[in-house]
Amino acid sequence: MALAIYRACNCSAKVIGALAEKGDFDGLVAYTGQSGQKVDYMFLLQSLMMNNPAGAVSLAKMIIKQTPPPIDVNTIADLFLQRNMVREATAFLLEALAGDKPEQAPLQSKLLEINLVTNPQVADAILANGTLTHYDRPRVAQMCEKAGLYMRALQHYTDLVDIKRTMANTHAIDPQALTEYFGSLSKEWALDCMKEILVANPAQNLQLVVGIAREYTDQLGSDSIIELFESQNNWQGLYLYLGGRVASSEDPNEHFKYIEAASKTNQMPEVERMTRESVFYDPERTKNFLQEAKLADARPLINVCDRYDMVGDLTQYLYQNNMLRYIEGYVQKVSPAKTPAVVGALLDAEAPEEFINNLILSVRSLLPVEQLVEEVEKRHRLKLLTPFLEHLISEGTTDPHVHNALGKIIIDTNNNPEHFLTTNPYYDSLTVGKFAEKRDPHLACVAYRRGNCDDALVECTNKNSFFKLQARYVVERSDMDLWLKVLDPDSANSENRKSLVDQVIGTALPESKNPEEVSVTVKAFMARELQAELIELLEKIVLQNSAFSNNANLQNLLILTAIKAAPLRDFVHRLDNFDGPAVAEKAIEYNLFEEAFEIYKKFNLKVQAIKVILHSMKDIPRGAEFATKADEAAVWSELGHAQLEAMVVTDKAKNAEVYEELVKYLLMVRKKQKEPRVDTELVYAYARAGQMGHLEAFIAGTHQANLQACGDRCYDEGMYEAAQVLFQHIPNYARLGSTLVKLGQFQAAVDAARKANSPRTWKEVLFACVDNKEFRLAQLCGLSIIINADELDEVSEYYQRLGYYEELIALLESGIGLERAHMGIFTELGFLYARYKPEKLMEHLKLFSAKLNIPRLIRVTEEQQHWKELTYLYMQYDEYDNAAACMMAHSPVAWEHVQFKDVSVRVSNNDVHYRSLQFYLDEHPALLVDLLNVLQSRLDHARVVDMFRKQSHLPLIKDYLVAVQKSNVPEVNEALNSLLVEEEDYVALKHSIEQYDNFDQPGLASKLEKHELIEFRRVAALLYKKNLKWRKAVELAKADKLYKDAMETTAQSGESELAEELLKYFIKINEKECFAAALYTCYDLMQPDVVLELAWANKMVDFAFPYMIQVVKEYTGKVELLMSERKDQHEEKEAQRNAYATLMPLALPAPPTGGSSNGYGPSDTMGGFQGGQFGGAGGGYPGGF
């Protein structure tokens, strides 16, 4: 109503005020536009600020939306702030700064500053919104830190010092946010910050640091994190960090450090579990650590040594540390099989025999006797095992190793060994014989003979010239292989053959009564073609009235075995008691037809005699002559059959090629005489005459023809149709397949080959199909052939020779799916891919690498120059040296960085590592450090440094040098220090020389003392101090006016003379303050009289007076201490005298009280000085001491 009245009265000022107070700013704009009134926004705004703050904010927002704004934004903001209207000013500025323009940077900074001072939560919300980006970030960071918004401060700081200072307030920072923040830091800054918060409050921040380390292990590197914890000696943190890593890590160093940290934190169950389950830690390194740690629980060490076969070291450690119960527990419960190694180590350690015997007996049958005997025997202590062995034998053991050991002891002690060797059935003859051979060869021969140890006995008897014993043994053994070996003229012992043969002929064989022994001996002599010796032997046995002279079986055997070796005809006439027919047949078998004829003739077997002449000698005229002399019907019959078999008619008919007439003649002969020869010739004649119908009818009936032979003749002479008929009738599918191939019937040939199922037939049909380009049928044949590895090469060569490699590849690709597919098929297919389809080769190698003959494929791949595939094959065949060499030699094709790293760590030849470094330097320098980090453990760091120094490329490998500096190698330290000097990084240089001191320190100090930068000269002074060259270090500090360093160095030196010189130097240059400071710093080295003299002489008493006060105080304290001790001594003596007085007899007079020297009481002069002696009127300190 008031507004309406104002409008009616045309009171513009009142209308405008009313609209403003009402908050109707749109109406206000409309009204002023209609009335033409100019609004005093400044007045309105100030009025609203007092009465309606929210309206003032709205008006301010409306004002800044006008173009141009009637009031400057800064002015409006100042109006709000002058009235301490921070909330309203914030609301206004957020609206005004919504565009986030660069020119608004001061206002953005002001907005954040006022809220950080008055209401940090609002500022935090604004920053979290991310709408403002142009404010003064360093200023805001400082104010965030003061306001307690440490996380926001960290997000804005860019200097490491500020970040580390802020991060010390971890109690007020959200751990999750802080952890995420570390992801934005570089590796070096992150490690520095982690170290800072760990040093600031280890107990509170440990879990936080561990969480950060686990989260960013990949970025920071586990080695750097481990080094961080170790540098702070924080084993609990290292244990917690690695506890979350070892389950998924395969890094040997991480597993070892986890074991070390668990040991340091007394987590014994975890140490025991890791040593038992982990397969990644370095056994030698872990063993050494556990031994140095001297843990009360030896189980972790037992786990390591037992798993990696370091039982000797384990036993020695346990014995030296008097942990005998662990030794017993190990052999009894953990690994009884390794008891021999434990016993050996205990013997080496000179352990008591009683303990060793008790240990062995506690394991008893569980331990391997053979290894135990071997270990004890190596140390010449076999006798130690006597009780144990006797105990086992008393239990009835038949273990050869037990009896071997007992036998060795008996031989060694010469306790009736021959009885043991001949009666004990359980020992191993070869083992015991070898043991006895050096002590008594005769006993060795007894053992060898008992066990039929042929080679060992022959060697022993040859070595000791026991030829008679050898001859008897060989004859008794009756073993042809042994005979052939001892009679071998090309053997190493051939020079002993004559001696052996003489003993066999002269002693062993004449003593024998066994025909088998004689027979085998004769056969052996024959086999080795000992003609003269065999004749001598036979004459001695058979012809010299021996036990075998009238033995029919032996005579048969001797004649039969002497057929080739002696004049048989002479034996035939001299011997009568042998089996003539059998010997004659054997003679015929060896083509001795005349001897066979004589034998039949001697035994009056005339029919057999003429058969020899007719069938063996093929001499029909001589047969006719013998038949005339014999004049027997059977003999004449044999002669007639032989003449008929000559078949003179048939031969003439064949020569004249009149086969029709020959058929008629043979049919006539067949009516009178049915013989196989006639039927066979008739079949052949039918074939030659082309009478296929008659041929089929004849073979379908009854006949005696040899169809196979006839079919072969037809095939050989090109009569394939006749051969087909014959082979089908037999049936002979192999020959039928060959015949059908000749006839061009390939499908039928394949069917016949399938029935024959013969590789030869399959190949014949296959080659014919390939020649005629019947590749479908050829593939059917090929699949049946290539499953035979011996035939594959021939098939492949045939295809390739004709240029059909596509068809061959198709055949082999089908073949690899067969059930009987073998390595040759996969390999041959690889050859073909390498030669004709290299694009398929790599896929084939990856799919079937386990089924390939890799060495053969390597040769072919190298010939075809497929370098990438060749590298892959080398890797599959574990030839990593060659793989690396191939990648380097053919890097454009074969090299791949990740693959090269994997290969490099498995290379066995160290020279390849250095060649690879040169290769990377030449071709891939950006990846060089990555390769070096992978090869750290395999490289000689000194050699690497020398290599890159010669080529002036040390800066390239700086990161590598930093990583390996922990090895403290002189060359690495010197190289890295020189780089840091060149880079003028004095902080890193100082850290390097403090942590790693293995380098030429005097040389570096001499170089740095002339450096143009003062910090490097300070490093030179530090090096001089480390090398106890105090005077040189002080001189450097004085030259650079580093008087504090000079004073500290002098104090550390402990040299009073050097301290006095420094005082004089300060006096000389009139540095009075430094003079006073030196007195304080080097207090213990100063002589008070010298100081007082120098101060008085140079008018510096005032500067020396603090020192003198301290000296007086120190000496006064010492005097008071002495007096206190003296007083205590006096009181103690007084107490002793009083005690003595109470013990005196009652009859004695009481002691005088005046202090007489004759009494027993204390004198007034004892127990201290009289008053006035040092005080009172006499002067000095009042009151005395």
Report pLDDT for 886.
92
d(Cα 768, Cα 676) in Å, to the nearest integer? 35
* Contact (Cβ atoms closer than 8 angstroms) between residue 509 and residue 518: yes
- Per-residue pLDDT, averaged over 9-36, amounts to 57
The residue with greater pLDDT, 789 or 863, is 863
The radius of gyration of the chain's CA atoms, rounded to the nearest angstrom, is: 58
d(Cα 878, Cα 849) in Å, to the nearest integer? 12
* Contact (Cβ atoms closer than 8 angstroms) between residue 95 and residue 63: no
pLDDT of 653 higher than 80:
no
**Low-confidence winner among 106-110, 336-340, 503-507 (lowest mean pLDDT):** 503-507
- Per-residue pLDDT, averaged over 30-42, amounts to 59
Residues whose CB falls within 8 Å of the CB of residue 735, separated by 6 or more in sequence, listed in order? 711, 712, 715, 723, 727
Share of the chain above pLDDT 70, in %: 85
pLDDT of 1063 higher than 90:
no
d(Cα 931, Cα 907) in Å, to the nearest integer? 13
- Per-residue pLDDT, averaged over 558-577, amounts to 58
> How many CA atoms lie less than 13 Å away from 445 in the CB half-sphere?
20
**Low-confidence winner among 230-244, 467-481, 1144-1158 (lowest mean pLDDT):** 1144-1158
Report pLDDT for 6.
57
pLDDT tens string 764-773:
888 889 888 8
pLDDT tens string 75-89:
877 777 777 788 888
The residue with greater pLDDT, 53 or 340, is 340
Report pLDDT for 77.
79
**Tokens standing for residue 1112:** 């007086």
**Low-confidence winner among 42-46, 80-84, 445-449, 876-880 (lowest mean pLDDT):** 42-46
Report pLDDT for 218.
83
* Chain mean pLDDT for the chain: 80
Per-residue pLDDT band at 652 (split at 50, 70, 90): very low
pLDDT of 11 higher than 90:
no
- Report, in this order, helix, strand and coil percent for the chain, each rounded to 5: 75, 0, 25
Per-residue pLDDT band at 14 (split at 50, 70, 90): low
Report pLDDT for 1163.
39
* Contact (Cβ atoms closer than 8 angstroms) between residue 448 and residue 460: yes
**Low-confidence winner among 376-385, 1128-1137, 1142-1151 (lowest mean pLDDT):** 1142-1151
* Contact (Cβ atoms closer than 8 angstroms) between residue 875 and residue 901: no
The residue with greater pLDDT, 129 or 1146, is 129
Report pLDDT for 393.
83
**Low-confidence winner among 49-53, 457-461, 558-562 (lowest mean pLDDT):** 558-562
pLDDT of 1175 higher than 90:
no
Report pLDDT for 94.
79
- Per-residue pLDDT, averaged over 1079-1097, amounts to 86
Per-residue pLDDT band at 1178 (split at 50, 70, 90): very low
d(Cα 1063, Cα 1104) in Å, to the nearest integer? 11
Per-residue pLDDT band at 890 (split at 50, 70, 90): very high
Per-residue pLDDT band at 564 (split at 50, 70, 90): low
Report pLDDT for 283.
92
d(Cα 625, Cα 597) in Å, to the nearest integer? 14
pLDDT of 95 higher than 60:
yes
pLDDT of 719 higher than 80:
yes
- Per-residue pLDDT, averaged over 645-649, amounts to 48
Per-residue pLDDT band at 111 (split at 50, 70, 90): confident
Q: How far is CA 449 from the centre of its chain?
A: 49
pLDDT of 1158 higher than 80:
no
Residue 109: closest CA among 80, 64, 77: 77
Report pLDDT for 337.
87
pTM: 0.41
Per-residue pLDDT band at 574 (split at 50, 70, 90): low
* Contact (Cβ atoms closer than 8 angstroms) between residue 917 and residue 945: no
Q: At what angle do helices 1056-1068 and 1072-1081 cross, to 10 degrees?
A: 170
Report pLDDT for 1051.
87
Per-residue pLDDT band at 867 (split at 50, 70, 90): very high
Report pLDDT for 328.
87
Report pLDDT for 1176.
35
**Low-confidence winner among 278-287, 541-550, 833-842 (lowest mean pLDDT):** 541-550
Sequence letter at residue 109: S
Cα torsion 64, 70, 73, 77: sign: negative
Alpha-helix runs per DSSP H in 837-890 = 841-847, 854-864, 867-876, 880-889
Residue 755: closest CA among 732, 786, 772: 732
Per-residue pLDDT band at 454 (split at 50, 70, 90): confident
Report pLDDT for 539.
63
Report pLDDT for 284.
92
Report pLDDT for 1166.
36
The number of residues in the chain equals 1185
The residue with greater pLDDT, 1166 or 808, is 808
Report pLDDT for 196.
85
Sequence letter at residue 272: E
d(Cα 745, Cα 768) in Å, to the nearest integer? 10
d(Cα 299, Cα 312) in Å, to the nearest integer? 16
pLDDT of 300 higher than 90:
yes
- Per-residue pLDDT, averaged over 611-633, amounts to 77
- Per-residue pLDDT, averaged over 136-152, amounts to 84
Residue whose pair of structure tokens reads 């036990």 in the numeric block: 547
